[in-house]
Chains A and B, each alone.
With several copies, the nearest count.
Chain A
């Protein structure tokens, strides 16, 4: 049991470190380090441009999408090599944020279902960051219940074989700066919900697409609503068979899990730092037994997540598939971050209401955390959905009873007051 690289891993790490030291945008380092909740603060320069620059540089040297095949713009690297890259890229990795969905979800889906010609056309520019992709899955009527989606795809009346899309998607990250997207639609509302869906990819600049940013409770806008009015998609851009959309979407969602060992933040180190500087009625916070008893639980949750990640890395390093342990990451980190934010506010007492980063303690980090953490407990799976996943996939307990399983989609009730 040790934290050391194997010789091969060490050699790879050295190569990576060498290249990054020589090529990384060091002038952005501080800004990237201090960028807190929601988006990068890189001064006047457009973060998208900076992100594309860094990605292009990586691609040129063969460091983009390490785990993808070389033919599609990747490096054909092993999973552990990908992790080592991530560790070495460090703060610069934040510049890859705009590509995460494209590289992590859209790319793999294209690889699994697009034609060879399409893969050679779309994947390399996606890998190189020249084209940004988004994922159009969630809908107002389908949050936790993704398969409840209603966006219709119907054959064009002109017999061209094209599909006409009408409907609305929601929670689409980066829709406003994306060039392409993968879109799941309902092509047959008369069959049970999981059977009538079909997946496509489309040009986000197509006529009939309207994008509206969603203002979040914390005032930021990381997500969008996307409206489709008679948007036309060629049948050649269908991914998988008609009616197989659910199966295709699972491929996409499964790839979400592959970002392992990233170690979700709980905010504990920041809280501990605050406790070293702020006073309670009993003196320095970190010396107040009441504070200590609370800190201890958050400390062990934080290290527990960290070392759970290390266990998964070890499995990768041995060429094994990591166990289900990682499914606990967000379920632990989300609520913990919210508890920590509320307690950090408690420590600041009356002055804790101040959110101005230039005035508030810890540059307003905890006020931002307070307002952002509720979203963390919902996005990409609510705490409740995650507990269901652990109970069913890890512990083997039965699925919830599904009243809508075998009901034609258009006969499923849509209002609780009905």
Chain B
């Protein structure tokens, strides 16, 4: 039984934490949140130089050719730091789509540039408010060209290319689109977490390459979302831990009625419950990491489990971190809202908590029926 990351992996995480502590303090997050820049270019470059953008990309494509356990520990550190860079779009989604279904040409063209950070990729999915299902995907693909709109595309205004979910007849198909191509219009959107940009993208008869077969879209999408869900879970776990630590530290420092507020049971027990959520999420995340790294048959359940648990934990910890901080907690000056914003943003990427809850039980049921 060795249900723990290796010393090498822990060392890699420590290295990433040191790097992010230096290059990505919350002032850097605020710079993107409040400023004109859609992301932190210097940080992105630095992450590329560290090799963190190509961890699982094979060496032949300029990556480190390492495994998913390494990517999980880095994702956790990105979450702790609230890194204002397109990591989740480019590394967790675009890269995974290419590895899962990209042609040799597509891989050869984009993977090296993703690993080096020269190119940013994303995934264009939702078209309106509400759960995204095969039925709600209406953007039309015909003769290698796309027409329609996508909304709330993460990093949509800065991505060089996007994997786009489209409708081919009755099927959902995936397409790789160069976002500099004619017919593409991008409109940045105000969101609940401006430290991660989102955009609306309109496609007017835009040239697109197929990614996988015309019937494979939803299957590939589901596979990639499962993998991204586990990676995102680690991002959420990192955020949850940091929010818990902030709350704990403030409870020790802040005095009321002549005592640290952390000596009141109301605060102590709130923090204890946050610790419980964060611990359960971490343990479920490890299960997901194991499944992802070994390609275990349990991957689908493990992904939904990690996703549900980590989403609950980060939202719980970020929300109560504000409550522990009292009035200061909802000032712009304090960092609490940065974590609250991110926790609610990550809860919506890759589909909502409700959808993942439903998916988890559907998958447990399927396995149970099979057994």
Let me know if chains A and B touch directly in the complex, using CB atoms closer than 8 Å. yes
**A contacts, CB < 8 Å to B:** 1-6, 9, 80, 138, 141, 143-145, 148, 170-171, 214-219, 272, 276, 278-282, 285-287, 289-293, 295-297, 299-301, 303-308, 310-311, 313-315, 317-318, 325, 328, 331-332, 338, 342, 345-356, 359-361, 367, 370-371, 374-375, 377-379, 382-384, 386-388, 390-392, 394-404, 407, 412-417
The residue of chain A having its C-beta at the shortest distance from the C-beta of B323 within the complex is A377
* Contact A297 to B357, CB < 8 A, known contacts A286-B365, A348-B129, A349-B348: yes
The residue of chain B having its C-beta at the shortest distance from the C-beta of A300 within the complex is B309
**Which among B6, B256, B265, B340 is the interface contact of A374 at CB below 8 angstroms?**
B340
B281 interfacial contact with A, CB 8 Å: yes
- In the assembled complex, how far is the CB of residue B296 from the closest CB belonging to chain A, in whole angstroms? 10
Tell whether, in the assembled complex, residue A347 and residue B151 are in contact, meaning their CB atoms are under 8 Å apart. Answer: no
Tell whether, in the assembled complex, residue A350 and residue B2 are in contact, meaning their CB atoms are under 8 Å apart. Answer: no
Pull 5 A–B residue pairs with CB atoms less than 8 Å apart, ordered by A: A1-B3, A171-B327, A353-B193, A360-B129, A387-B268
Within 8 A of A (CB), among B338-370: 340-341, 344-345, 347-349, 351-358, 360-362, 364-365, 368-369
CB-defined contacts of B312 to chain A, threshold 8 Å: 297, 300
Tell whether, in the assembled complex, residue B253 and residue A392 are in contact, meaning their CB atoms are under 8 Å apart. Answer: no
Binds A, one of B35-43, B213-221, B269-277: B269-277
Tell whether, in the assembled complex, residue B192 and residue A355 are in contact, meaning their CB atoms are under 8 Å apart. Answer: yes
Tell whether, in the assembled complex, residue A292 and residue B361 are in contact, meaning their CB atoms are under 8 Å apart. Answer: yes
A5 to B2 alpha-carbon distance, docked (Å): 8
**Which among A1, A311, A354 is the interface contact of B152 at CB below 8 angstroms?**
A354
Tell whether, in the assembled complex, residue B332 and residue A219 are in contact, meaning their CB atoms are under 8 Å apart. Answer: yes
**B contacts, CB < 8 Å to A:** 1-6, 69, 125-126, 128-133, 136, 151-152, 189-193, 198, 200, 248, 251-260, 262-269, 271-273, 275-276, 279-281, 283-284, 286-287, 289-290, 293-294, 305, 308-309, 312, 315, 319, 322-323, 326-327, 329-334, 336-337, 340-341, 344-345, 347-349, 351-358, 360-362, 364-365, 368-369
Tell whether, in the assembled complex, residue B262 and residue A348 are in contact, meaning their CB atoms are under 8 Å apart. Answer: no
CB-defined contacts of B341 to chain A, threshold 8 Å: 371
- Of the candidates A4, A144, A353, A375, the one having the most CB atoms from chain B within 10 angstroms of its own CB is A353
- In the assembled complex, how far is the CB of residue B188 from the closest CB belonging to chain A, in whole angstroms? 10
- In the assembled complex, how far is the CB of residue A343 from the closest CB belonging to chain B, in whole angstroms? 8
Tell whether, in the assembled complex, residue B368 and residue A290 are in contact, meaning their CB atoms are under 8 Å apart. Answer: no
* Contact A395 to B248, CB < 8 A, known contacts A303-B287, A308-B280: yes
CB-defined contacts of B5 to chain A, threshold 8 Å: 1
- With contacts defined as CB atoms under 8 Å apart, how many contacts are there between chain A and chain B in the complex? 349
**Which among B1, B258, B269 is the interface contact of A412 at CB below 8 angstroms?**
B258
**Which among B1, B129, B272, B362 is the interface contact of A278 at CB below 8 angstroms?**
B129
**Which among B129, B131, B281, B361 is the interface contact of A299 at CB below 8 angstroms?**
B361
Tell whether, in the assembled complex, residue B287 and residue A397 are in contact, meaning their CB atoms are under 8 Å apart. Answer: no
Tell whether, in the assembled complex, residue B191 and residue A349 are in contact, meaning their CB atoms are under 8 Å apart. Answer: no
CB-defined contacts of B1 to chain A, threshold 8 Å: 3-5, 9, 80, 310, 313-314, 317
* Contact A374 to B323, CB < 8 A, known contacts A217-B337, A345-B344: yes
Tell whether, in the assembled complex, residue B330 and residue A355 are in contact, meaning their CB atoms are under 8 Å apart. Answer: no
The residue of chain A having its C-beta at the shortest distance from the C-beta of B368 within the complex is A276
CB-defined contacts of A382 to chain B, threshold 8 Å: 323, 326
Of all A-B residue pairs in the complex, the 7 with the closest CB atoms, nearest first, are A404-B258, A304-B280, A416-B260, A296-B357, A217-B337, A391-B268, A307-B283
A251 to B86 alpha-carbon distance, docked (Å): 52
- Of the candidates B6, B273, B327, the one having the most CB atoms from chain A within 10 angstroms of its own CB is B327
* Contact A390 to B192, CB < 8 A, known contacts A217-B336, A296-B361: no
A401 to B273 alpha-carbon distance, docked (Å): 21
The residue of chain B having its C-beta at the shortest distance from the C-beta of A279 within the complex is B130
* Contact A349 to B357, CB < 8 A, known contacts A354-B191, A416-B255: no
- In the assembled complex, how far is the CB of residue A300 from the closest CB belonging to chain B, in whole angstroms? 4
- In the assembled complex, how far is the CB of residue B270 from the closest CB belonging to chain A, in whole angstroms? 8
**Which among B259, B263, B284 is the interface contact of A303 at CB below 8 angstroms?**
B284
CB-defined contacts of A216 to chain B, threshold 8 Å: 330-332
CB-defined contacts of B259 to chain A, threshold 8 Å: 398, 401, 403-404
**Which among B125, B263, B323, B336 is the interface contact of A400 at CB below 8 angstroms?**
B263
**Which among B2, B189, B319 is the interface contact of A356 at CB below 8 angstroms?**
B189
Tell whether, in the assembled complex, residue A390 and residue B276 are in contact, meaning their CB atoms are under 8 Å apart. Answer: yes
- In the assembled complex, how far is the CB of residue A221 from the closest CB belonging to chain B, in whole angstroms? 9
